[in-house]
Structure 1
Amino acid sequence: MDSQVMVALALSLVGGLSTSLGALFVIISDAPNLKMLGLLQGFAAGLMLSISFLDLAHNAMNSIGFLKGNLWFFAGVIFFGVIANFIPEPTLAPSVDAKNKKKNDDGGKDVMKKHRRQVLYSGIITAIGISLHNFPEGMAVFLGSMKGLELVLTWPWLLLCTTSQRLLLQGVAVALPVYFATQDKWQAFKLATLSGFAEPLGVVIVAYLFPSSLDPEILEGLLWRG
């Protein structure tokens, strides 16, 4: 395997592991209650949105122009909306204790069960959206490594530092709702980790399918779209 591909893959793997680290911060403690879930999700969402708009939007507009940048942005909104529309709402298997409860408690349990289902659904949607965003980030890391040794030692590392912070928050954003809904630490960690490893997957695919023919304009659009 080419050394430049190895460098790009190693960098993207470190970035992907940042997502796992974010999930680890979530699961090392008890599952959050409703109030804490809302507070932490809001905090993570605010940080990720601010990073995306202050970093990715600025770079995309400078690289491909205001009009094309906005076209790619709304294309991403529509694309993700279509995908989310085809994802069925997950079901949560009732526990043995829940089956043995009295019927007069069923109403309250049904409401809580429905809420947990909705929270789990939001976690799955978040994981899919993050995966779609991380994939072109892996492409960006690969293209940076192909620009020569000097940039391999500088630009990809700068990209890694900025994306790792966001990936850590993405791990939190995915693991929180899944952990709350399922009370399963492994499921929360697994889904967050899989969403983070879309980045090294982007490196592998671009390296072996079209290493020299990827249009930089398309890459900027994909990054901003995500």
Structure 2
Amino acid sequence: MVINMDHQLMIAFALCTLAGLSTGFGSLIAFFTDRTNTKMLSLGLGFSAGVMIYVSMMDLLPQARHQLVLGGEGVLADWMVLGGFLGGMLLIASIDKFVPEPVNPHELQLVGDLAGPAEEKGQEGLKRVGLFTALAIANHNFPEGMATFVSALQDPSIGVAIALAVAIHNIPEGMAVALLVFYATGSRKKAFLHSFLSGMAEPVGAVAGYLLLLPYLNYITFGIVFAVIAGIMVYISLDELLPAARKFGEHHLSIYGVIGGMMIMAVSLILL
């Protein structure tokens, strides 16, 4: 497969970096607002889920099968797509399984909870919380960065869609990370720094994807990776984004966001 590497790599790395920066933006929202705007958050989470689900089902999975057929896997293509899809779900589920809920950045918190220094929260186990937070940051953002990078490398339009969805869901994640680190240190500066660095795990994942996968990129590799990415994004949407939106008591707004995300994604894929 011939790829214009200079142009494609610049786009892929730029998208990963922009998606990662939204995590730091989330921490700024946490520090400069008095409370979480639950309506906008529910709408945004629903929108992100709609984009992820639509792209996965209507573009990534068909693309995965198409790539595998081009690679000569006509008979096994459907089974390989199914295996990759389920494998992606198991991968992200395993990551969540080994990250304790109190320090899991996907367990969203309200900005109103970000109150009081660490002394008011108690000192017991705070260093351990900080350690687990760093682990959670790396575990959750690394595969997202790799997924965005590989998708953009094959098709920039798909990469833009995935980067947008990841960026939206990284904002509340950044708020959660900032909250956890603030509990552990009592320092808003350190909380912002850790949140910002958690976002930078996205381009680190892109670099890893470049180093690990680039020598092996072909039709079959792209097909399997697309199926895995689809599984990861559907799992994130169903397990994290939609339940989080419902948690804030704005169920209908989250559904409107899902519909809006799907509609915008459908139109953009047709036009692009």
What TM-score, normalized by structure 2, do the two folds share? Answer: 0.53
**Match for 1:13 among 8, 17, 22?**
17
**Match for 2:126 among 104, 117, 122?**
117
Q: After superposition, where does 1:67-146 map in structure 2 within 5 Å?
A: 69=85, 72-82=88-98, 84=100, 112-114=121-123, 117=126, 121=129, 125=132, 128-146=135-153
Partner of 1:175: 178
What TM-score, normalized by structure 1, do the two folds share? Answer: 0.61
Q: CA deviation at 1:184?
A: 0.4
Q: CA deviation at 1:189?
A: 0.9
Please give the alpha-carbon distance, in whole angstroms, between the structure 1 residues aligned to 2:43 and 2:125: 24
Q: CA deviation at 1:22?
A: 1.0
Work out whether residues 51 and 166 of structure 1, in 8 Å CA contact, stay in contact via their aligned partners in 2. no
Give the 3 Å change call, closer, same or farther, for CA 221–72 of structure 1 in structure 2: same
Q: CA deviation at 1:157?
A: 2.2
Q: CA deviation at 1:176?
A: 1.9
Once the two structures are superposed, residues 54-103 of structure 1 have per-residue CA deviations (whole angstroms, 9 ceiling, x without a partner) of 554666577344x8755643554344434559x9xxxxxxxxxxxxxxxx
Give the 3 Å change call, closer, same or farther, for CA 200–78 of structure 1 in structure 2: closer
List alignment gaps of at least 5 residues for structure 2.
62-80, 104-117, 237-272
Please give the alpha-carbon distance, in whole angstroms, between the structure 2 residues aligned to 1:190 and 1:181: 13
Q: CA RMSD in A?
A: 4.2
The one-letter amino acid paired with 2:31 is I
The one-letter amino acid paired with 2:126 is R
List alignment gaps of at least 5 residues for structure 1.
88-108
Give the 3 Å change call, closer, same or farther, for CA 72–209 of structure 1 in structure 2: closer
Partner of 1:193: 196
Identity %: 27
Please give the alpha-carbon distance, in whole angstroms, between the structure 2 residues aligned to 1:125 and 1:46: 27
Partner of 1:217: 227
Q: Which moved more, 1:167-176 or 1:72-81?
A: 72-81
